[in-house]
A and B are shown apart, each in its own frame.
Chain A
Amino acid sequence: MSERAWIDVALTAARPQALSALLRYFRDLDTAEEAFQEACLRALKTWPQTGPPRDPKAWLILVGRNAALDGVRRRGRQAPLPPEETLSDLEDAETALAERLDGAHYRDDVLRLLFMCCHPDLPDTQQIALALRIVSGLSVKQIARAFLVSEAAMEQRITRAKARIAQAQVPFETPSAAERGERLAAVTAMTYLLFTAGYGAGERSARAELCGEAIRLARLLLRLFQTEPEIMGLAALMLLQHARSAARFDAVGEIVLLEDQDRGLWDDKLIAEGLALLDKAMRHQAPGPYQIQAAIAALHARAARPDDTDWAEIEALYAALERTTPSPVVTLNRAVAVDKVKGAAVALEMIEPLAPRLSAYFHFFGVKGALLLRLGRQAEAREAFDQAIALAATPAEAAHIRLRLDRLRRESAPEPA
């Protein structure tokens, strides 16, 4: 890796903690972002000569803070800037000071920064865009590309969202345990939203970028809140799902269903990490929705072949999920497992009452079509698949259903003589 690439990675990795500490100093997001930016510029100038500091985060916090304070002073008194070496050369003593100042606060600082992005007035997509811009430090261009909108439109969206959170006044006092819990719940939900946005994205690069960022945020949260089983569950869930990413689409971008995937393409390292985290979470005996979903993903990950999948256990886990977080989508997923265990007729009966609530949901019609097909009800299956195509969110989704329709037509056509 080139030196420049190494420094870039280090700056990106330090960003959430350094920026959130600067936010606590300045209590203003724009000032904090400018200070961090300035610190990064100095790092790019000085690190190649001095080598990277022992603690890049502390270095960036102190240099950023000094630079911003200096900017304030300079504007006030028009005094000349001290030489570069004075600003950027930090003795170990100063590093220790930075640590004392910040070590104890990192946790709440980072949580606050993330929580600011989860403002309830902001629609989901804006929360995610804001987190990617502010916390992950992605460029507006990168974010725009991931969401398939123009750069100008994304710039405007982020500017508006920032203005909204600037008015929101998230308090800077150390949060109470209850407040901390609420913040954590909002932040984990937003992290999973970010992941699902990536998981469903049409573009390979967008999938990798968004899912990768979500996993990075989850690892960060995990390090800050080491004993929370639901965060372990969330991280495990995302790791186990992301492990399949290379197998989920074929060479031309068509969707490959779980049972047809080349399991050799699954990422063993991500699966190992996901299973390890789920193992840790289960020890707490405090199940929650993320852990249950991670347990389902783990059963898929553990099956060497599709036939080895423990569908009965998956069905039981979906039933548990229905109890803790009832939703028609959960029931639909349970029906897929029921189909494997008790047959298509029982599964179809289960999903029929969901129709009014899932009338705009692509997967509802995809599952319904597949079940009808298995029951030999071709005409109705075709109708369901047609509805699915109309609701497809990405070209790959539509193409996948079209493929099944084509197969259906071929099979129902009379054999050529």
Chain B
Amino acid sequence: MLYAILCYNDEDIVWSWSQEEDQAVMAKLGVVHERLIKAGKMGPSLRLLPTTSATTLRKSADPPLVIDGPFAETKEQLLGFYVIEVADLDEALEVARELAGANPGGAYEIRPVALYNPERRDGAAV
């Protein structure tokens, strides 16, 4: 079963991390990632730029309205996500707990994936 783990946190805090703090968190997360990759459970994962870089297309208007900023003003923002392949919700929660141990604060939302298009653009610059 494919699950998405959506990472929510206060971006004021996350983007206040020093480079060293960021690297320390990434190193800890790396251990979890490595284990998931070896077990063949790790799908794509990504980190988003801050919501200040977001633009929203409001489809309620015709033609759609382009608005600066994220879709919703929230205390915790969607900062990135993982896609993992696990047996069931229990195992997905287990992965989320491991990730939480490496990266405290905020919340992980675990959502089953309904449709998955794995085609990817190779060599895309990030």
Question: Closest CB-CB distance, B104 to chain A, in whole Å?
Answer: 6
Task: Give the most central of A14, A219, A235, A277: most B CB within 10 Å.
Answer: A219
**Partner among B12, B49, B104 whose Cβ is within 8 Å of the Cβ of A273:** B49
Provide the main secondary structure of the chain A interface: helix
CB-CB under 8 A for A276 and B49, given A9-B13, A10-B13, A55-B75: yes
Task: Give the most central of B15, B21, B53: most A CB within 10 Å.
Answer: B53
Which A residues lie within 8 Å of B55 (CB)?
A: 280, 283
Question: Closest CB-CB distance, A33 to chain B, in whole Å?
Answer: 20
Which B residues lie within 8 Å of A226 (CB)?
A: 52, 68-69
Which A residues lie within 8 Å of B12 (CB)?
A: 13-14, 220
A1 CB–B CB distance under 8 Å: yes
Closest to A218 in B: B52
Task: Give the most central of B10, B21, B25, B69: most A CB within 10 Å.
Answer: B10
Indicate with 1 or 0, residue by residue over A34-73, a CB within 8 angstroms of chain B CB atoms: 0000000000000000001011100000000000000000
Do B25 and A1 touch across chains, with their CB atoms under 8 A apart?
A: yes
A222 CB–B CB distance under 8 Å: yes
- B48-76 at interface with A (beta carbon < 8 Å): 49-53, 55, 66-69, 75
CB-CB under 8 A for A273 and B50, given A1-B21, A5-B21, A52-B105: yes
Which B residues lie within 8 Å of A272 (CB)?
A: 49, 126
B16 CB–A CB distance under 8 Å: yes
How far, in angstroms, from A55 to B24 measured CA to CA in the complex? 24
How far, in angstroms, from A239 to B21 measured CA to CA in the complex? 19
Which A residues lie within 8 Å of B66 (CB)?
A: 283
Indicate with 1 or 0, residue by residue over A1-24, a CB within 8 angstroms of chain B CB atoms: 101011001101110000000000
Do A1 and B49 touch across chains, with their CB atoms under 8 A apart?
A: no
Which B residues lie within 8 Å of A10 (CB)?
A: 10, 13, 105
Question: Closest CB-CB distance, B42 to chain A, in whole Å?
Answer: 22
Closest to B17 in A: A9
A125 CB–B CB distance under 8 Å: no
Which B residues lie within 8 Å of A1 (CB)?
A: 17, 21, 24-25, 104
CB-CB under 8 A for A276 and B10, given A5-B21, A6-B104, A6-B105: no
Do B53 and A273 touch across chains, with their CB atoms under 8 A apart?
A: yes
How far, in angstroms, from A124 to B24 measured CA to CA in the complex? 36
A227 CB–B CB distance under 8 Å: yes
Task: Give the most central of B24, B105, B126: most A CB within 10 Å.
Answer: B105
Do B13 and A276 touch across chains, with their CB atoms under 8 A apart?
A: no
CB-CB under 8 A for A223 and B24, given A1-B104, A9-B13, A10-B13: no
Which A residues lie within 8 Å of B53 (CB)?
A: 273, 276-277, 280
Do B21 and A9 touch across chains, with their CB atoms under 8 A apart?
A: yes
Task: Give the most central of B13, B21, B52, B75: most A CB within 10 Å.
Answer: B52
How far, in angstroms, from A223 to B70 measured CA to CA in the complex? 10
Instruction: List the interface of chain A (C-beta within 8 A of B).
Output: 1, 3, 5-6, 9-10, 12-14, 52, 54-56, 212, 216, 219-220, 222-223, 226-227, 232, 235, 268-269, 272-273, 276-277, 280, 283
Instruction: List the interface of chain B (C-beta within 8 A of A).
Output: 10, 12-13, 15-18, 21, 24-25, 49-53, 55, 66-69, 75, 104-105, 126
- 7 of the cross-chain contacts (CB-CB < 8 Å) are A9-B16, A10-B105, A12-B16, A226-B68, A268-B126, A277-B52, A280-B53
5 new A-B contacts, CB < 8 A, other than A1-B24, A13-B13, A226-B68, are A1-B25, A12-B16, A13-B10, A52-B105, A276-B49
